[in-house]
Each structure stands twice: as C-alpha cells, then as structure tokens.
Amino acid sequence: MRKMKFKNLFIITLMICSVFLIPSFSVKTADVTITDETKDVSSIDYLLKNAFLFGRFQNAVIEDDYVTVEAVNLRIIFFDPFQFFHYTTRETITFSNQYNGIIIAKHFLIGNFNVVLPINTNSIAVMNTTMGTIIVELYEDKMPITSANFIKLANDGFYNGLVFHRVIDDFVIQGGGYYPNGTQKISPYGPIDLEINPDVHFLDGTIGMARTSDPNSATSQFFIDDGAQPHLDYNSSNPNPNGYAAFGRVVVGIDVVRAIAAVDTKTKYFMRDWPVNDIIIDSIIIISP
C-alpha cells in the first residue's frame, strides 16, 4: 500500500514538473490575438486571466475553443494579480486550452490555462459578529428580489444588535430575528415571495432565507450553511415544499461560521439550539461595486 502511495505521489509530481519544465509534453495551440472588439466584450461579460488549475472535475463539455467542467475540489491560482480560489461540486469553470495543460481520464486537470469567469458585479455583505467577521457575496445577478430585501434591511441597520438564535453544528447558524433578551424584531417590509434559481444551491457557506411552512413567508431571518445542505434545494421537476431561497455564499470567514456552529447551545426563551453565550451581530455593512 505504501509503495502504491509513493508511486502515485511520484506520478503527480512528475505531471506538475512536466507542466512547468517540459512544454512539449502537451500540444500548445497558437495564442489568440485579442482584438479591440474582443476586449470590449470581455470587459463587460467575462474576466479572462492566466491561471494554473489543479484538481478533479466532472461532466466536461468540450467545444471548439473552450472546455467547460463542473469543478470538484478544483484549485485555481491566478498569477496576475495573484489570487487563489477553491471550487467545489456544481460550480462551473470554463477554460481555453491555449497554454500547457493535461486532462487525465476526463476527471483530473492540471496545468496552465486561460480561465473565463463572470465579472463580479454583486454586492458584498461584511457581517461583523462578536466571534469574528464573515464576508458574503450576495447573488444580486441570480437572486435579485431576495438580495434586495437583505441589502435594504442591512442598510437600515436592522440587523445591528441581533443574535444568532439557532445554531446547529454541521447544519446552519441562523439569525436576524431576535435580540439577546429574546424579544423578536419584525421586518418593516413584511414577507417576500419565495425566489428560486436553478443555478444556486445550498453549498458549504451558502446564505439562505429562513421561513415558516408558507413558502412566501421569509422576512428578515437568514441562515448560513455549515457544510453543504442539498436537501434545502428546491427541486423544479418535483417541487419540494422544503425548498428555501439561497442568495449568496461566504467568500471569507467560513472558519467563523464553523466556530459559531460549534458552540454549546440550550433551550432558551422556549427556543431550542440557542447559544449558551450570545453571539451578537454588531453590524452588516453592504459594499457595492
């Protein structure tokens, strides 16, 4: 078994070295000259960067110039400027094979590519809590009604001083409706209709709207997933009454979510899973591009 592990490690190391040191290992196509017209389109619709990709993928769709894959533990390093991303299942990555790279058995990707990602024009929510800061990208492009409701409440200062009143490890942390003394705070804007987008799922760190059994009853309370929760998704082919509106995802601070989810809880104010020591939302600041 140990020999096999060392053999696999040697193969992976060899592949990495081949990408950087032996350009002839894979076929390199001619670089495409970007015209002014292409630049204009690209500046609006896409962000094109030189990147190093490493990891597993599924469901590759190969077109003339591009390959689109659903990422599974795929790591992407952008060199200019240096950035690092980690994508998981159900997230789509498109790349062009202009640079050296290797696709192994259609399930493993390694090498330098041009990666095409949508330009982010969504707002960011900076959630300051007594246990740390959580930064969330709000999917205004995909979930405009739900995002607008959250942004409006945050800009009003509605969430300031409220607590995470329902915390369940490996499930969710929920807040946005109660003060530390158990008094409920009601949104001045009332409930919003359930909004569903088939491209948005309850992945690790996804933020969604809490509601009652009435699909159109969400107001101000939200939750953040501690781990992927696919059972919360709405199934369009067989509508699931337990479907919820997912409208963003944590981009920085998932460690804070983990820490909050792991605290001790008790029954308090007739509600289960209330943290023993209150976790307060000091503020939620919206930053728009």
Looking up residue 191, the CATH number of its domain turns out to be 2.40.100.10
Per-residue pLDDT at 106: 67
CA 121/CA 127 separation, integer angstroms: 19
Residues 72 and 190 grouped into a single domain: no
Confidence check: pLDDT of 276 > 70: yes
Per-residue pLDDT at 278: 97
Residue 145 burial (CB count, 10 A): 13
Confidence check: pLDDT of 240 > 80: no
Q: Whole-prediction pTM value?
A: 0.66
**Exposure of 27 by Cβ count < 10 A (0-12 exposed, 13-18 middle, 19+ buried)?**
exposed
Residues 225 and 280 grouped into a single domain: yes
Per-residue pLDDT at 198: 87
Residues 171 and 89 grouped into a single domain: no
Residues 237 and 282 grouped into a single domain: yes
pLDDT band at 205 (very low <50, low <70, confident <90, very high): very high
Residues 282 and 152 grouped into a single domain: yes
Per-residue pLDDT at 216: 95
Of 146, 143, 137, 166, the residue nearest 263 (C-alpha): 166
Least confident range from 63-67, 149-153, 155-159, 180-184: namely 63-67
Residues 97 and 137 grouped into a single domain: no
Give every CB contact of residue 153 below 8 A, 6+ residues apart in sequence.
159, 176, 187, 189, 220
Residues 46 and 69 grouped into a single domain: yes
Domain of residue 63 covers 2-118
How many degrees, rounded to 5, is the angle at CA 77 between CA 76 and CA 78?
Answer: 120
Least confident range from 5-9, 122-126, 157-161, 168-172: namely 5-9
The number of folded domains in the chain is: 2
Residues 110 and 136 grouped into a single domain: no
